[in-house]
Structure 1
Amino acid sequence: MKLKRLLFCVTLFIGVFSYAQQKVFTLEEIWRGAFRTEGLQSLYSMKNGKQYSVLEMDRSNRTTSIEIYDYATGKKAMTLLNSAAIKNLQAFQGYSFSSDEKQILLSSEVAQIFRHSRRGIYHVYNTETKALTKVSDKKIQEPTFSPNGEKIAYVFDNNIYVFDIASQKTVQLTNDGKKNEIINGVTDWVYEEEFAFVRAFDWSADSKKVAYIRFDEKEVPEFSMDVYGSQLYQRQEVFKYPKAGEKNAKVSLFIYNLEKQQSAPIKLGTYKDFYIPRIKWSANPDVLSVQVMNRHQNNLDLIFVNASDNTSRVVLNEKDEAYIDITDNLTFLDDNSFIWTSEKDGYNHIYHYNDKGGLINQVTAGNWEVTAYYGYDNKNKTIFYQSVENGSINRDIYSVKLNGKSKKRLSSKEGTNRADFSADFTYFINSFSSSTTPPEYSLIASSSGKVVRALKNNKRLTEELATYDFRPKEFSTLSVNGESLNMWMIKPRDFDPAKQYPLLMYQYSGPGSQSVANRWYGANDYWYMMLAQQGYIVVCVDGRGTGFKGAKFKKVTQNDLGNLEVQDQIAAAKQLGALDYIDAKRIGIWGWSYGGFMSSNCLFKGADTFAMAIAVAPVTNWRFYDTIYTERYLTTPQENAAGYDKNSPVNYVDGLKGKYLLVHGTADDNVHVQNAMVLIEALVQANKDFEWAIYPDKNHGIYGGNTRLHLYNKMTNFIKKNL
């Protein structure tokens, strides 16, 4: 029923645009940002819950400022800081507050390391004394205020330091850090990429202790990449990268006591080959929570460490036949009871446990997923979350009491709603979009869900798009292999069901992902509209293994990645090819990363179904990919050789009959260009004709300068020539 209503809206949307001047989309416009949406600046909610701060830049004089606004009125309350008034710091790129908001940590000269990691120069600004203090002359990582605001802990060259702001003295907590050997306080490459965190230390609530993870990666195999640049000789990047089945870094946990000036190792148990994906101090300054996971990632222990005697105990255990997803949802209440999310009943839901790990109650329940946990309002005993209760392609905001009662839907429009709450949960800024409405932002009262005021919309973009031959997505479902799969379709203008059209399928298909969602469009979507303008039908189908339809649907691909997912794409293509208006001899498929792995397999294994495929930065052999991601879904190649080999494209090159384009960047630290090179060699030795493109010094995103424009020109021409 929800999909039918959405289709009706799409029909109205098409009608609005159909009588306007019909300009065509061009790749130059798409990749130079002509259709970007306007958003709200990144904001920080002040402790009072009534105001928020934003970072603003004056490009004319190259200064930055932190401005304070009132939630209720939207009016500027004050300028908290302007770099023009600070000596020795013309501008800064980011900021964070101490817990009392009297000091601000300012970042400048920030440089990216990997996907999430950065290093930069940092200063502390005191809002009362107006004093500016430099934390270090060197570029450092993850500087973090102590809860009392007196100190800052940070990492430099794989060692942890603590800077005393008042005395401006620095204490070095660890001394054994060394590149490609020992890391203290920040994560190694694979933790950063697959567990999605960098800072591996945490302050206790009383600011007297720092807990940290130590990585010993001496035995982890190294991977090297040539960076060509423009010099006479290339340089080489060498870093530790544990591929599936190889040795991981050995992790250990320590607590440093600043009063005693000593570090103590923490014995967590008899674990042998394990991960520590999260550490977090509880409300009690002597209780540290540690999540320990086995290498298969299907057994998780939540451990409480007593920092007074360094003893530990397991308070909660989670098991799963497949795997357990790591989140940042663990929330400690004042009594040290805690909120936890789990898929243990088959869907992701919220639970409340006491401080001993006993279940108090399951807060949410139903055949739907909690997709984001926003926080707990202690004053009103209320939890705020996002879910797919209104259909798996939609997102809505809800509140519910800690006891599971009085659930309330706070968002009202059908599509994708996301929330950013004020510090005291009085308000939230709701960002909403759908396939028919570009992003719009509203201030919502958290208690009622009523709109306080509209903040921003993208009316200008809507008016601009009215002059184009805009091709909205039409949502529906497709019955494939016993499952109802979500699908969107973009059709050419003046679509005639009596005619036949070539079909291009896009998918990603990775575990827990979602490509069919009721939200506004990105650059790729405008490319699909451009292709539709040129007579192509474009379709996306989320097959088995994708997310937000329950654990069983998501985890059915376990130990067999690329089998059921490929079956679903081939079956979907055959069903679509049987439609009167699809030319079954002209069906193509494309994807990036996991999607490139999929599109390669679909062409090699579905030669009678697909006429062409494009694979960008694909995994071509799962033995080449990292431990944490790959083993989560396949275990190790030593245990599951068939799961690795029977679905890796490199082993199916003999099946290639159609047209194939393979693309990769040479500086891809994630999916190494090795994947492309090995596949190229296999195709050559099989005497298969194909096309390929290598982008020098480009990472997994393959961007920079005209790179994306060049890539999409190449892919467009390939599609037009071969489909």
Structure 2
Amino acid sequence: MINLTSAEDSVVKTHTDMKIKSFIGLVGLCALTGLFCPTESMAQKQFTLEDLNFGGTNFYNMRPEARYLTWWGGKPVRQDLNCCSLVDPVSGKEKLLFSLDELNRWAGLKEAGEVVRHLYGAEFPYADRPVVLVQNGHEDLYVNFREHRLEQRLERPAGLQARQWNSRSGATAFVADNQLYVTDAKGSKHQLTTDGSRNIVYGQSVHRDEFGIDGGLYWSPKGNRLAFYRMDQSGVADYPLVDIPELDWTPEKGESRAAKAAPIKYPMAGETSHKVTVGVYDLTSGKTVYLQAGDPTDRYFTNIAWSPDEKTVYMFELNRDQNDCRLVSYDAATGAKLKELYRETDAKYVEPCHPVRFLPWNDNEFVMQSQKDGYNHLYLFDKEGRLIRQLTSGKWVVLDVLGFNAKQKSIVYVSNECSPIQRNVWLVNVATGKRTLLDNGRGYHYPKLSEDGSVLIDSYSEPDVPRKYELITLKGKPQRHGYFTSANPWKAYDVPEFTCGTVKAADGKTDLYWRMVKPVGFDPSRKYPTVIYVYGGPHAHNVEASWNWGSRGWETYMAQKGYLLFILDNRGSEHRGKEFEQATFRHLGQEEMKDQMEGVKFLKSLPYVDQDRIGVHGWSFGGFMTISLMTNYPDVFKVAVAGGPVIDWKWYEVMYGERYMDTPQANPEGYAQTSLLQKAKDLKGKLQIIIGLNDPVVVPQHAYSFLKACIAAGTQPDFFVYPGEPHNMRGHQSVHLHERITQYFEDYLK
């Protein structure tokens, strides 16, 4: 999947003339109130990029104040710099558990290099024991805060590539120097592999992080068995990235002054991909078996899950065309295939992203997520693969399953049922199917559920609410309890007007959501230069009902400089159902451009938009969209900045590229239609392309090839590269990046 970069934190806005009642009609089920931010007309302060960009020196002071909360069993705990406190879920009152000084003293950490420096990451691994897990940089420390003593310290080995600890068995699985190890609760280390290398990868993410994969180590519920990935990428071609020496290089260091080859394994669309198998290690017997899934060539294995009794492993298996998905069970002791439990096919693609989850009150039934009815919903199956019932349905999407409330025999999940641009938390009774909205029905919520399902920590924002925290108790009738409201950190500043609305897609029927950021000191009688920020690709969105409609800080910075910003989520973006997402299949960028031009049509209807000064900017898929718009509509867009752009999908990786485009061999017309190489001759306005020299996602070949095509065509793009940087610019370099983006529009659009 193409990642959003630092140049694209995602968000959205709308038109000032939008009536609240019309918006309420749009969002349907849940009432929305207080959607518009009053402007601080008397404010005097001005923002800088150090305030608004995530790499800025003052960025975190300009974010709404956060509360860091975790769980100790069913009890919420506040993690702070110097202390951890128990939080009463009803009153919100806090009771000190321990301080940082006490913890360091109890752990016997006297040397300056060993002390724990803060408690923001403190964890409470045992629901029934007063133990906190903290780190001092090279060790995991388990401290009993009632008995005031260090119970255990586990060293983090040098060269650590992956690690997973199980609280039930106390065993740790880790990968170091390419080999897989397991350390049991007594500290005895067992080396499971000897052939690990850059070609043979153990215990780490495979299939380039697609299909919901974000790791490669999977403990069984009680920690007696470990499932792990083995990826053989010896047949995958190397891609030649280059490392540039640091600026402080000196001969005394004894290193070469020359740049070094830093090749990565990168399977391009239509080429040989890696082969993945799944092993299972048994702590008791010390033996490893591999799941007998058959030839792994051109297949994807994902969403590994365990049965509650640790006897069975479940896995989704997908063909390379990604249109035939099967859920299969395996015997964990022998690796033998037991049964194909479920099969789903689609004319375009099936995309399993979530493992099955067993009901905590019934070991014979599990919940599965699927888009088979057009929207991602929950389905209840028995362990033999028989469908019992569909648990949720409707033209909305289940976004996440948080867990279960065993006493009420219900599932707690997050969906956008209230509105396509909202995120709200719900409870569904497994037996009756009755759904209950648990939060306030507005805004964008990121709840966390306690292990026993009795309490929710709900962190959320609304378009005019920077950040708020509530505690929701689920014992009996759900009750919401106020905990903390963040102050508006922008109160003393000149803030633009943020609005949100809809336009119809190019199909004439589908609502597309947009965000608008009007210039500070907006005067409707003036005409303003306008910049469209675009992403537009799968698994991402920009417009949401969070603070300022999800607007990125750079948009505020540009509005302060007198620009109008416009952001539209076209068809192909996420959370709108299968038909909406699959509209772009086999011809990426084409339907997306049509939808973006409907946004341009709307902008041109506004008297304060200067039609002769329209620019566009995006990163990654948004960089692809930026150059696509700039070259397909050269008389509309005057200036563009494209970051990390895909130029031709035949150079993108197998899993993502082939899902949406098929292979170049199977879809030559689609690849030819979407390639930007042939559009280099159509470049008229000012275009700046920016990349990271060490980008492992959209490899530099894309940008270099487009430059070569422009040279051949006689067109003149500008180009800038960040040596040593990957797909996203890290740290303070992101401030430099956004200064550069801003200056390009200042030079050529204003």
- Same fold per superposition (TM over 0.5): yes
> Of residues 269, 285, 288 in structure 2, which corresponds to 1:260?
285
Listed as ranges, the gaps of 5+ residues in structure 2 are: 1-19, 27-31, 250-256
Q: Percent identity?
A: 29
CA distances 1:539-581 after superposition (whole Å, capped 9, x unpaired): 1111111122221011110111111111221332134224333
- Structure 2 counterpart of 1:671, which letter? V
> Of residues 485, 489, 512 in structure 2, which corresponds to 1:457?
485
- Structure 1 counterpart of 2:151, which letter? A
Match of 1:354 in 2: 382
Match of 2:590 in 1: 563
Q: CA deviation at 1:329?
A: 5.1
Q: Distance in 1 between matches of 2:603 and 2:488?
A: 36
Is the partner of 1:527 in helix, strand or coil?
helix
> In the alignment, is residue 35 of structure 1 matched against residue 57 of structure 2?
no
Q: Distance in 1 between matches of 2:301 and 2:690?
A: 35
Match of 1:155 in 2: 175
> In the alignment, is residue 478 of structure 1 matched against residue 503 of structure 2?
yes
Q: CA deviation at 1:408?
A: 1.2
Matched residue pairs, number? 693
> In the alignment, is residue 248 of structure 1 matched against residue 276 of structure 2?
no
Q: Distance in 1 between matches of 2:501 and 2:218?
A: 46
> Of residues 548, 564, 577 in structure 2, which corresponds to 1:537?
564
- Structure 2 counterpart of 1:654, which letter? K
Q: CA deviation at 1:98?
A: 4.7
The 8 Å contact of residues 304 and 314 in structure 1, kept in 2 or not, is answered as yes
Q: Distance in 2 between matches of 1:581 and 1:207?
A: 63
- Structure 2 counterpart of 1:612, which letter? V
Equivalent residues in 2 for 1:50-449, closer than 5 Å: 51-58=75-82, 68-72=86-90, 73-79=92-98, 82-87=103-108, 89-91=114-116, 94=121, 96=123, 98=125, 102=129, 106-109=134-137, 121-123=139-141, 130-135=150-155, 137-146=157-166, 148-166=168-186, 168-178=187-197, 180-188=198-206, 190-192=207-209, 194-228=210-244, 229-230=246-247, 231=249, 232-269=257-294, 272-312=297-337, 313-328=339-354, 330-333=356-359, 334-446=362-474, 447-449=476-478
The 8 Å contact of residues 139 and 153 in structure 2, kept in 1 or not, is answered as no
Judged with a 3 Å threshold, the aligned counterparts in structure 2 of structure 1 residues 512 and 141 are, in CA distance, closer, same or farther, namely closer
Is the partner of 2:364 in helix, strand or coil?
coil
Q: CA deviation at 1:267?
A: 1.1
Judged with a 3 Å threshold, the aligned counterparts in structure 2 of structure 1 residues 246 and 83 are, in CA distance, closer, same or farther, namely farther
CA distances 1:284-315 after superposition (whole Å, capped 9, x unpaired): 22111112111122222111112244322111
Q: CA deviation at 1:493?
A: 4.4
The 8 Å contact of residues 354 and 369 in structure 2, kept in 1 or not, is answered as no
Q: Please say which of residues 76-85 and 640-649 is displaced more in the overlay.
A: 76-85
Q: CA deviation at 1:150?
A: 3.6
Is the partner of 2:466 in helix, strand or coil?
coil
Q: CA deviation at 1:123?
A: 5.0
- Structure 1 counterpart of 2:701, which letter? Q
Q: Distance in 1 between matches of 2:35 and 2:380?
A: 44
- Structure 2 counterpart of 1:213, which letter? Y
- Structure 2 counterpart of 1:185, which letter? G
Q: Distance in 1 between matches of 2:682 and 2:488?
A: 49
Q: Please say which of residues 375-384 and 84-93 is displaced more in the overlay.
A: 84-93
Judged with a 3 Å threshold, the aligned counterparts in structure 2 of structure 1 residues 27 and 211 are, in CA distance, closer, same or farther, namely closer
Q: CA deviation at 1:212?
A: 1.9
Equivalent residues in 2 for 1:40-51, closer than 5 Å: 40-41=67-68, 43-47=69-73, 49=74, 51=75
- Structure 1 counterpart of 2:411, which letter? I
Q: Distance in 2 between matches of 1:544 and 1:639?
A: 24
Q: Distance in 2 between matches of 1:561 and 1:533?
A: 34
Q: Distance in 2 between matches of 1:99 and 1:240?
A: 40
The 8 Å contact of residues 115 and 136 in structure 2, kept in 1 or not, is answered as no
Q: CA deviation at 1:613?
A: 1.1
Match of 2:748 in 1: 722
Q: Distance in 2 between matches of 1:500 and 1:479?
A: 25
> In the alignment, is residue 656 of structure 1 matched against residue 683 of structure 2?
yes
- Structure 1 counterpart of 2:442, which letter? E
Q: CA deviation at 1:517?
A: 1.0
Is the partner of 1:518 in helix, strand or coil?
coil
Is the partner of 2:721 in helix, strand or coil?
strand
Is the partner of 2:37 in helix, strand or coil?
helix
Judged with a 3 Å threshold, the aligned counterparts in structure 2 of structure 1 residues 591 and 136 are, in CA distance, closer, same or farther, namely closer
Q: CA deviation at 1:492?
A: 2.7
Q: Distance in 1 between matches of 2:296 and 2:726?
A: 36
Q: CA deviation at 1:265?
A: 2.3
Q: Distance in 1 between matches of 2:485 and 2:25?
A: 21
CA distances 1:130-173 after superposition (whole Å, capped 9, x unpaired): 2333345434344333463342222222222111232x221112
Q: Distance in 1 between matches of 2:452 and 2:366?
A: 19
- Structure 2 counterpart of 1:17, which letter? E
Q: Distance in 1 between matches of 2:713 and 2:128?
A: 65
- Structure 2 counterpart of 1:211, which letter? A
CA distances 1:402-446 after superposition (whole Å, capped 9, x unpaired): 134331111115211221112222221111212211011111223
Match of 1:581 in 2: 608
Equivalent residues in 2 for 1:547-696, closer than 5 Å: 547-696=574-723
Q: CA deviation at 1:76?
A: 2.4
Q: CA deviation at 1:633?
A: 0.8
Q: CA deviation at 1:30?
A: 1.9
Higher relative contact order (CA 8 A, sep 6+): 2
Q: Distance in 2 between matches of 1:326 and 1:355?
A: 18
- TM-score w.r.t. the length of structure 2 is 0.86
> In the alignment, is residue 526 of structure 1 matched against residue 553 of structure 2?
yes
> Of residues 502, 507, 514 in structure 2, which corresponds to 1:487?
514
Match of 1:112 in 2: none
Q: Distance in 2 between matches of 1:697 and 1:2?
A: 51
